[in-house]
Structure 1
Amino acid sequence: MTKQRQRASAPAPETKRCAIYTRKSTTMGLEQEFNSLDAQREACLAYIERQQGWTLVDERYDDGGFTGANIDRPAFQRLLADVDAGKVDVIVVYKVDRLSRSLLDFVKVMERLSTAGASFVSITQNFSTADAMGRLTMNMLMSFAEFEREMISERTRDKIAGARRKGKWTGGPVPFGYSAKDKKLVVNEAEAHVVREAFTLFLAHRQMATVARELNKRGLLPRASKHGRKGGPLWSKDSIARVLRSPLYAGRMMYGDELYEGEHPRLIDDVTYRQAQKLLGMAGRELRVTGTNPEYVLRGLLRCGLCGEAMCPGSTTKKSGKTYRFYRCSTRDKYGTDRCSARPLPARAIEDFVVARITEATADGTLAERIQVKLAARVAKERTTFVEVRKALSAQVAEALAATSRLTEEVVRLEGRARELVEAKLRVEATRLDDAERRLRALEDDAVNVELLESQQEWFVGALRNFGKVWGDMTPENQGRLLRALVAKVSVGEETGVCRAELVNFDAVASAKEAA
Structure 2
Amino acid sequence: MTRTTSRADGRENGRHKPPAAVRCAIYTRKSTDEGLDQEFNSLDAQRESGEHYVRAQEGQGWVCLPTRYDDGGFTGGNMERPALKRLLADIEAGQIDCVVVYKVDRLSRSLLDFARIMETFDKHAVSFVSVTQQFNTSTSMGRLMLNVLLSFAQFEREIISERTRDKMAAARRKGKYVGGAPLLGYDIDRDASRLVVNEQEAVRVQQIFELYLEFQSLLPTIAELDRRGWTTKRWTTKKGTQRGGRPFNKNTLYGLLTNVAYVGKVRYKHEVYEGEHEGIVDPDTFEEVQRLLRTNHRTGGARVRNRFGALLKGLLRCAPCGCS
TM-score between the two structures when normalised by the length of structure 2: 0.82
Alignment equivalent of 1:106, drawn from 101, 104, 114: 114
* Aligned-partner Cα distance in 1 for 2:86–2:94: 13
Question: CA-atom RMSD, angstroms?
Answer: 2.8
Which of the pair is proportionally richer in helix? 1
Structure 1 residue aligned with 2:210: 200
Partners of 1:127 and 1:332 lie apart in 2 by 81
State the one-letter code of the partner of 2:232. P
Relative to structure 1, the CA distance from residue 141 to residue 190 in structure 2 (aligned partners, 3 Å threshold; closer, same or farther) is: same
Deviation of 1:270 after TM superposition, in Å, equals: 2.0
Alpha carbons 1:249, 1:266 under 8 Å: kept: yes
Unaligned runs of 5+ in 1: 302-309, 313-328, 337-516
SS at match of 2:26: strand
Whole-Å Cα distance in 2 between the matches of residues 45 and 205 of structure 1? 67
Change (3 A) 1:286 1:63: closer
SS of 1:175 mapped into structure 2: coil
**What's 1:291 paired with?**
305
Taking a change above 3 Å as real, the CA distance of residues 286 and 46 of structure 1, as seen in their structure-2 partners, is closer
The structural deviation recorded for 1:202 is: 2.3
* Aligned counterpart in structure 2 of residue 79 of structure 1, from 84, 87, 102: 87
Q: CA deviation digits over 1:1-39, x for unaligned, max 9?
A: xxxx9xx75553342111111111112222222221111
Residues 1:122 and 2:135 are matched in the alignment = no
1:214 and 2:224 matched: yes
Q: Which of 137, 145, 148 matches 2:153?
A: 145
One-letter code of the match for 1:281? R
Q: 1:261 aligns with which of 260, 274, 286?
A: 274
Partner of 1:251: 264
- For the residue of structure 1 that corresponds to 2:128, the secondary structure is strand
3-state SS of 2:234 partner: coil
Distance in 2, matches of 1:70 and 1:179, equals 32
Instruction: Write out per-residue CA displacement over residues 320-378 of structure 1, whole angstroms, 9 at most, x where no aligned residue.
Output: xxxxxxxxx817849x9xxxxxxxxxxxxxxxxxxxxxxxxxxxxxxxxxxxxxxxxxx
Quote the Cα distance in structure 1 between the aligned partners of 2:299 and 2:72: 57
Amino acid at match of 1:330: L
Verify: 1:42 aligned to 2:48, yes or no.
Answer: yes
Of 136, 146, 162, the residue aligned with 2:144 is 136
8 Å Cα contact 1:213-1:235 kept in structure 2: no
- Matched ranges for 1:23-102 at <5 A: 23-51=29-57, 52=59, 53-102=61-110
Worse-matched range after superposition: 177-186 or 234-243? 234-243
> 1:29-428 counterparts in 2 under 5 A?
29-51=35-57, 52=59, 53-181=61-189, 182-224=192-234, 226=242, 233-283=246-296, 288-291=302-305, 300-301=310-311, 310=312, 330=316, 333=319
Q: Which residue of 2 aligns with 1:347?
A: none
Give the C-alpha shift of residue 299 in structure 1.
6.1
CA drift of 1:208 comes to 2.8
**What is the total number of aligned residue pairs between the two structures?**
298
Q: Which residue of 2 aligns with 1:374?
A: none
Task: Quote the offset at 1:59 in angstroms.
Answer: 2.1
Instruction: Return the offset for 1:136.
Output: 2.2
Write the distance in 2 (CA, Å) between the matches of 1:332 and 1:103. 65
TM-aligned CA deviation for residue 195 of structure 1: 0.9
Partners of 2:182 and 2:233 within 8 A in 1: no
- Unaligned runs of at least 5 residues, structure 2: 1-10, 236-241
Which runs of 4 or more aligned residues in structure 1 lie more than 4 Å from their structure 2 counterparts after TM superposition?
8-11, 283-287, 331-334
- Please report how far the alpha carbon of residue 79 of structure 1 lies from its aligned counterpart in structure 2 after TM superposition: 1.3
TM-score (norm 1): 0.53
Question: SS at 2:25's partner residue?
Answer: strand
